[in-house]
Structure 1
Amino acid sequence: MEHILATAEKKVLVKLVKLVQKLRLEGRNVGWKEFLNVYDKQAGSSLSDPSRRSKDVLVAFLSTLEKKQDIKLLARVLKPNPYLAEDFKQESPDETAEQRLVRMTITDDEYLLDYLFPSNAEDWLVTGTGKKKSEAKKSTKIEMVAIDCEMVQCEDGSDAVVRVAAVDRDLKVILDEFVKPDQPVVDYRTDITGLTAEDVENATTVSVVDIQENLQMFLSEDTILVGQSLNHDMKVLKIDHPRVIDTSLVFKYKYPGSRKPRKLQRPSLNYLCKSILGYEVQKDGVPHNCVDDAAAAMKLVLAIVEKEVETSVPVTKEMLETAKSRLYLHRIPHNVPTEELIEVVSRESTPKIKFGKPSKKQGSGYYSAIVVFNSPAEANQAFENIDGDLGKDSAGLTQKQVFLKQSSSSGPRLYFHVRKMVEDDSAKEISATKRSYQEEKKASCKKQKREYDSEETREVDVNHCGEEKTEEKIEKLREDDLIQEIEELKQKLKAKDQMIDYLKKQLRKKKKTVSVK
């Protein structure tokens, strides 16, 4: 694997490191940033953007991944795929509108993570590879099939398909079947699916294998599979198809500011239908219908292909206000109680906390949470009051690294990250105005000093003496602030040094274990 990584292009390695970061994978018990702190003492994790690191550093980190499932993941990503080849990703003069939408889907930053299926498993069906459409059946239209599934929650926590629908380019229903889950169901999500246990028991049901066989008849190499958040449907159906158009990746929010929200969800199918098609496909209090949802996804694609509608949709004021009223907490250690989070994030109010599920992909006991405040002003004030290291996340958005209280002197200090859901442009404008004012004031002072120095007499009147004493006091206060800031930085550096020492010990233990074996 190390040889394969060494011969890979740097841009591929950059994507791999970013993928590893998103999945919270760790090589030899350390993640990307912890690795940088040990590997490069001078820059450390302060230069954590993979694209700004050398190829040797990227290869060195990826080579530390030793778990069998992690190595398989790297192999799947590095495996040549004609539909992910660079020439396919580039716009060409003879590119059709449909091909452009496929390219927009597979070049999206989220595609690699969403569509990384375990398609080498026995129960998975890989379609459309080498199966060309016969000359007799070819037409001027590129074939497209839209699918949508209704899902239930099983006893083991996984999702299972309970109904699946598919429509062709002409919106003709080519498949509408009930599916019998192969696991006990604990939640039929009736408010969403509109289905109960009795509905499924009384209906004629088929298996996932039957659905795979039925869909395989429609999916040649040239066929494009269409859907909203299509990866979820393909996952429950255990189908891997190379050419896809995901409307949740194709359509993007058009933000009024210069910075994008970090955690604002993708446009929903219902919102896209209202914005692009002029109708609601999912009304409040009414269960979904997978036939209608599949047809809606196809209509959205046809609106781009045939009517050349824009792929950007506006963000409503309500969306932005909601996002600005929240803070996103991530990489929270599993043993940190809610009370401690509230104490760190907000001391003056009691916001609501929405907890994210612990990610199975992380595998190291971390979870996330969203803190909901009453207003954007309250959220901004809470962020300003948080005591933490100010920095940027992987998308360049402002966040703070917050160290938690140590329960004992041994072991590294625990921490988590807090970031805004939306970068506030007005705050940047205020900051720029302050800088401009300070620069003007400094220039004015320099001018006055030059004028004063050029005078032949150096007499100082009483008022000027008073001003000098005031300036001395201000300078003294500034010195005190700087001294305090230096002491705080020393404490934070000490904590980071403790973390580095701890990681080094872990590495030494690992090496000893390997040598003994």
Structure 2
Amino acid sequence: MTEIKKRKRKDLDSSEESCWTEKDRNVLIRLVKQCQKLGSEGSSGDWKTFLKIKYPKFRSQDPSQHHWKVLAAFVNSLDKGSDQKMVSRHREWEKLIQAERLALAKSSSENRGGPAESSGLVHDLVTQTAKHPRFKELYSLPSYDKCWCRIPRRQGQSSAPIIYGLDCEMCETAVDSRALVRVCVVDENGKDVLDMMVKPKKRILDFRTHITGLTAASFEGVTHRRRDAQLALKDLLKDNVILVGHALHHDLSALRIDYQPVIDTSLLISYRNLSSCVPSLADLSKELLKRVLRQEGSPHDCKDDAVAAVQLAKHLMQHGPTLVLDPPNVKVPKEQLCKLLAHGLPPGVTEADLCSLLPASAPPLVRVEGDCSTEKKVLLVFHNPQDANLAFKELQGTQGVDSLGRAQKLVKLSCGDGQQQVVKVRKMGAHNGMAHGRDAKQDRVKWKRKKKA
């Protein structure tokens, strides 16, 4: 047996002595991935170095591609106190998950009586939310990590459910791009249950006033921290409480709370032929509830958004549990088709920075509409729609679509201070200048008629 094989055998044997088993493979994968993220090192260095020294023939660094004994050998090599605490948290978290699953299975088998009709409608929405293909990805929250609060799962179907709408406002700090600054909870009638301003520990870099409506003056006298919001919400989450929200995982992540059952209206309502797009809460309120949630350009209101989410859930109880809608009937004026929208701009961006987005092969930019130093979005204006389409094609970035299916790219922007930020650049129309949704279909019909004529 070669020296490498002997060393490998020794490492694998030592992993067996550490009480890790094949059943712990998912825990080990999660642990090693977090070690990769944190740059944790063991006696043989970090994960990459560990593989290079111990297993030079293994090319893949993806933990999920390795045997559980290899993962255990690396985890066992972690010797820092903070790393050992992290390992303990992961193991305790996994034990808690397993115990909850057993308790839920037992409770489900013992619950012989069916829920009342109204309760059944609520639980239908919970079930449909959990069945969504992206639910596991979005709601597998890292509650094993520090500062997180995980509230045990409960069956909750033996009594009438209590519906609470939840919405949070976030800002950007030096360490968190989604730091909690306000949390609102309303009951099913829209009455306030909790409304708390939260002051982040780190310095706020961007209040996102255009979204949150908050400024530095808004935090005068505010003493609550995120931990206070966690404790206040934890007191509200009884056995039969169901949280309702729109893209609720963002709010739970800002709160650092892992809770289920939930009803996520963003997973229950979609646009036809745009399955990857998430309808905005404002658009859904306007179309389904016949209610204008906010005026164009106005900031969000935490309470209004929470109330709208609850009202959408009630609408789904009557017409759902899921809905597929036609995209909004929006016609893009011809004069707008020669423009590209750049949004999600970081503070301090200049016109020169925006011009650097376009490669030399792109058509020349005529002008920039909007003040990029104070606004989060501006329009890049070209001579004609053809130039705008070509400029978009030449942009170097990851292409996708926005919430209405319009072509959009994530592009790296080099700012004057040398740092790179990711901004979004999208077309004004979806199909090379045409409008999206039903308008695009109508345009195609018109063109076919003209062609026949």
Q: What TM-score range do you get, normalising by the shorter chain?
A: 0.5 to 0.7
Q: Is the 8 A contact 1:145 1:166 kept in 2?
A: yes
Hey, what does 1:101 align to over in structure 2?
125
**Quick one: structure 1 residues 283 and 104, their matched pair in 2 at CA, closer, same or farther if it must change by over 3 Å?**
same
Offset at 1:323?
Answer: 11
Q: Are 1:299 and 2:323 an aligned pair?
A: no
Which position in structure 2 is the counterpart of 1:206?
224
CA shift digits 1:315-341 (9 cap, x unpaired): 13548999999799xxxxxxxx98696
User: SS at the partner of 1:233?
Assistant: helix
1:278 Cα deviation after fit: 0.7
Matched, 1:248 2:266: yes
Quickly say closer, same or farther: Cα 1:124–1:372, change in 2 above 3 A.
farther
Q: How many angstroms does 1:301 deviate by?
A: 0.5
CA distance in 2, matches of 1:4, 1:319: 56
User: Paired residue for 1:222, among 240, 243, 267?
Assistant: 240
Letter in 2 for 1:312: V
1:342 aligned onto 2:345: no
Within-5 A mapping of 1:497-508:
none
Q: Which residue type is aligned with residue 294 of structure 2? A: Q
1:115 and 1:372, CA in 2 relative to 1: closer, same or farther beyond 3 A? farther
Q: Report what 1:172 is aligned to.
A: 191
AA aligned opposite 2:359: I
Alpha-carbon offset, residue 231 of structure 1: 1.2
Residues 355-392 of structure 1 show CA distances to partners (whole Å, capped at 9, x for unaligned) of xxxxxxxxxxxxxxx999888766766788x7x9xxx9
Alignment of 1:87-236 (within 5 A): 96-130=120-154, 138-139=159-160, 142-203=161-222, 205-236=223-254
Q: Report if the CA contact (8 A) 1:282-1:288 is conserved.
A: yes
RMSD (Å), alpha carbons: 5.6
Preserved CA contact (<8 Å) 2:245 2:264: yes
Matches within 5 A, 1:408-427: none
Q: Quote the residue 2:420 is aligned against.
A: none
Matched, 1:285 2:297: yes
Structure 1 residues 326 and 192, CA gap change in structure 2 (3 angstroms): closer
Contact 2:270–2:325, Cα closer than 8 Å, also in 1: yes
Structure 1 residues 182 and 200 mapped into 2: Cα distance closer, same or farther (>3 Å)? same
C-alpha separation in 2, matches of 1:303 and 1:215? 26
Instruction: Tell me, in whole angstroms, the C-alpha distance in 1 between the residues paired with 2:392 and 2:213.
Output: 41
Corresponding residue SS for 1:232:
helix
Distance 1:313 1:179, change over 3 A: same
Structure with the higher helix share, 1 or 2:
1
- The separation in 2 between residues aligned to 1:234 and 1:225, in whole angstroms, is 10
- State the match for 1:360 in structure 2: none
Gap change, CA 1:312 and 1:206, over 3 Å in 2 = same
**CA deviation profile, 1:178-222 (whole Å, cap 9, x unmatched):** 22222222222223222222222135x423222222222321343
Aligned-partner Cα distance in 1 for 2:216–2:246: 26
- Aligned-pair identity in percent equals 27
Partner residue in 1 for 2:417: none
The offset of 1:111, in angstroms, is 2.7
Q: Which residue, out of 326, 342, 353, partners 1:314?
A: 326
Match of 1:272 in 2: 284
Aligned partner of 1:99: which letter? H
**Residue 287 to residue 376, structure 1, CA distance change in 2 (3 Å):** same
Classify 1:371/1:61 alpha carbon distance in 2 versus 1 (closer, same or farther; 3 Å). Answer: farther
1:177 Cα deviation after fit:
1.5
Alpha-carbon offset, residue 61 of structure 1:
5.9
Q: Give the unaligned 5+ runs of structure 1.
A: 8-12, 30-37, 40-56, 329-336, 353-369, 400-418, 434-517
Distance across 2 between alignment mates of 1:28 and 1:374: 50
Output the CA distance in 2 between the equivalents of 1:174 and 1:252.
Answer: 29
Deviations along 1:471-500, one digit per CA (max 9) or x if unpaired, are xxxxxxxxxxxxxxxxxxxxxxxxxxxxxx
Equivalent-residue separation in structure 2 for 1:194 and 1:187 (angstroms): 12
Instruction: Using the TM superposition, name which of 306-315 and 218-227 deviates more.
Output: 306-315
Change (3 A) 1:212 1:315: same
1:63 aligns with 2:66: yes
Query: What is the CA–CA distance in structure 2 between the aligned matches of 1:60 and 1:189, rounded to whole Å?
Result: 37
* Contact map agreement 1:104 1:250 (CA 8 A) in 2: yes
Question: Structure 2: how far apart are the matches of 1:375 and 1:113?
Answer: 41
Question: In structure 2, what residue type is equivalent to 1:223?
Answer: V
Distance 1:342 1:317, change over 3 A: farther
* Residue aligned with 1:202, SS: coil
Per-residue displacement from partner, 1:417-455 (whole Å, max 9, x unpaired)? xx99968899xx9xxx9xxxxxxxxxxxxxxxxxxxxxx
- In the aligned structure 1, how far is the partner of 2:341 from the partner of 2:143? 37
CA gap 1:277/1:184 in 2 versus in 1, 3 angstroms: same
Q: Secondary structure at the match of 1:146?
A: strand
Aligned residue in 2 for 1:415 = none
Change (3 A) 1:309 1:107: closer
Query: How many angstroms apart in 2 are the aligned matches of 1:377 and 1:261?
Result: 28
Looking at structure 1, the residues matched to 365 and 137 of structure 2 have their Cα atoms a distance apart, in angstroms, of: 37
| Letter matched to residue 289 of structure 2 | L
Matched position secondary structure for 2:236: coil
Unpaired runs of at least 5, structure 2: 1-19, 38-46, 50-57, 76-82, 109-113, 343-353, 369-378, 408-425, 433-439, 449-453
Residue 291 of structure 2 aligns to a residue whose secondary structure is coil
Q: What CA deviation, in whole Å up to 9, does each residue of 1:401-427 have, x standing for no partner?
A: xxxxxxxxxxxxxxxxxx99968899x
- On the 8 A contact 2:198/2:226 being kept in 1, the answer is yes
Q: Which residue of 2 aligns with 1:239?
A: 257
Q: CA deviation at 1:158?
A: 3.2
Q: Find the structure with the greater CA-based Rg.
A: 1
State the AA in 2 paired with 1:279: R
Instruction: Tell me whether 296-305 or 241-250 shows the greater mean CA deviation.
Output: 241-250
Distance 1:317 1:348, change over 3 A: farther
Q: Given that residues 186 and 193 in structure 2 are in contact (C-alpha distance below 8 angstroms), is that contact kept between their aligned partners in structure 1? A: yes
SS at match of 2:293: coil
The question of whether the paired residues in 2 share the 8 Å contact of 1:325 and 1:377 is answered with no
CA distance in 2, matches of 1:150, 1:340: 30
TM-score by length of 1: 0.47
The separation in 2 between residues aligned to 1:307 and 1:199, in whole angstroms, is 40
